[in-house]
Chain A
Amino acid sequence: MSDCNGGPADRYLEPYLRNTLPEAEARQFEEHYYGCEVCLAQLEALEAVELKLGRQPRKAPGVLLYWPTAAYAATAIAAMLLIGFFSWRSMTVMPALNQQARTQATAPIQGPQSPAPAAAPSVPPLLHQLADLNFPVFRLSNVRGEKVNPALQEGMRAYARHDCPATVRALSQVTDQAPEAPMARLYSGVCLMHEGDLPRSAQTLKAATVAPGTPEQEAASYYLAQVALIRNDGSLARHYLILAISSHGDFEGRARGQLRQIPAHEPHH
Chain B
Amino acid sequence: MSSDPSAKVVPLYYSEEADERLVRAILKGDLEAEREFALRFMRPVRGMLLALSHDPELTADLLQDVMIEAICSLRRGQLRDPRKLKAFVGAIGRNAVNRHYYRKARKPATVDLPEDLPDLRAMTGDRDQEERGNLAMEAIASLETVDRRILEMTLVEGFKPGKIAIEMSLNPDVVRQRKLRAIRKVIDFVQQTSQKRSSIPRVEGRVP
Chain A positions within 8 Å of B, measured between CB atoms, are: 1-2, 13-14, 16-19, 27, 30-31, 33-37, 40-54, 56, 58, 60, 62-63, 66-68, 137, 139-144, 146, 157, 160-161, 179, 211, 213-214, 250
Which positions 64-116 of chain B face chain A at CB distance < 8 Å? 86-87, 89-90, 94, 97-98, 101-103, 106
Given contacts A27-B90, A53-B155, A144-B94, could you give 19 more A-B pairs where the C-beta distance is less than 8 Å?
A1-B205, A14-B154, A18-B154, A30-B90, A31-B90, A34-B89, A35-B13, A37-B11, A40-B47, A45-B136, A48-B136, A49-B140, A49-B186, A50-B156, A52-B140, A60-B145, A143-B52, A213-B106, A250-B58
Are B191 and A53 touching (Cβ within 8 A)?
no
Q: In chain B, what residue has the closest Cβ to A157? A: B158
Known: A18-B155, A36-B12. A41 touches B191 (CB 8 A): yes
**A211-B103, A213-B106 are known contacts. Are A34 and B158 too (CB-CB below 8 A)?**
no
Given A18-B158, A42-B187, is A142 in contact with B44 using a C-beta cutoff of 8 Å? no
Q: B86 to A48, Cβ gap below 8 A?
A: no
Residues 163 to 187 of chain B near chain A (Cβ within 8 Å): 167-170, 179, 183, 186-187
Interface size on B, residues (CB 8 A): 63
By Cβ-Cβ distance, the 10 closest A-B pairs, closest first, are: A139-B54, A45-B190, A48-B136, A1-B204, A34-B86, A48-B132, A2-B13, A37-B12, A62-B145, A141-B101
B162 neighbours in A (Cβ, 8 Å): none
Q: Identify the interface centre among B41, B148, B179, B205: most chain A CB within 10 Å of its CB.
A: B148
Bound state CA distance, A9 and B50, in angstroms?
16
- Say whether B102 contacts A179, CB under 8 Å: yes
21 contacts between A and B (CB under 8 A): A1-B11, A1-B206, A2-B13, A30-B90, A34-B48, A35-B14, A37-B12, A37-B202, A40-B47, A45-B132, A45-B135, A47-B50, A48-B135, A51-B54, A53-B140, A53-B155, A58-B152, A66-B167, A67-B168, A139-B55, A161-B157
Say yes or no: is B29 at the interface (Cβ < 8 Å to chain A).
no
A51 to chain B, nearest CB (A): 6
Asked if B24 lies at the interface with its beta carbon under 8 angstroms from chain A, I say no
Chain B residues lying within 8 Å of A53, measured Cβ to Cβ, are 140, 148, 151-152, 155-156
CB distance from A208 to the nearest CB of B (A): 13
Which residues of chain B have C-beta atoms less than 8 A from A33's C-beta?
Answer: 44, 47
Shortest Cβ distance from B15 into A: residue: A35
Q: Is the CB of B43 within 8 A of A44?
A: yes
- CB pair A250–B47 under 8 Å, yes or no, is no
Whole-angstrom distance from the CB of B177 to the nearest CB of chain A?
Answer: 14
Q: Mark B187-208, 1 if CB is under 8 A from A, else 0.
A: 1001100100000001011100
Chain A contacts for B152, CB-based, 8 A:
53-54, 56, 58
**Chain A nearest CB: distance from B141 CB in Å?**
10
- The answer to whether A40 touches B154, judged by C-beta atoms less than 8 angstroms apart, is no
* Distance in angstroms between the alpha carbons of A43 and B46 in the assembled complex: 10
Nearest CB to that of B14 among chain A residues?
A35
Known: A37-B12, A40-B43, A63-B149. A51 touches B56 (CB 8 A): yes
Query: Nearest residue in B to A47 (C-beta to C-beta)?
Result: B50
B133–A46 contact, CB under 8 A? no
Which residue of A27, A53, A143, A157 has the most chain B CB atoms within 10 A of its CB atom? A53
Checking B13, B51, B54, B190 against A1 with a beta-carbon cut-off of 8 angstroms, the contacting residue is B13
Contact call A31/B87, Cβ cutoff below 8 A: yes
Q: Any chain A CB within 8 A of the CB of B22?
A: no
Name the residue among B44, B97, B140, B154 with the largest chain A CB count within 10 angstroms.
Answer: B44
B139 pairs with A49, CB closer than 8 A:
yes
Q: What are the residues of chain A within 8 A of B154 when measuring CB–CB?
A: 14, 18
Which residues in A have their C-beta under 8 angstroms from that of B43?
40, 44
Complex alpha-carbon distance, A68 and B55, angstroms? 30
Smallest Cβ-Cβ distance to B84: which chain A residue = A31
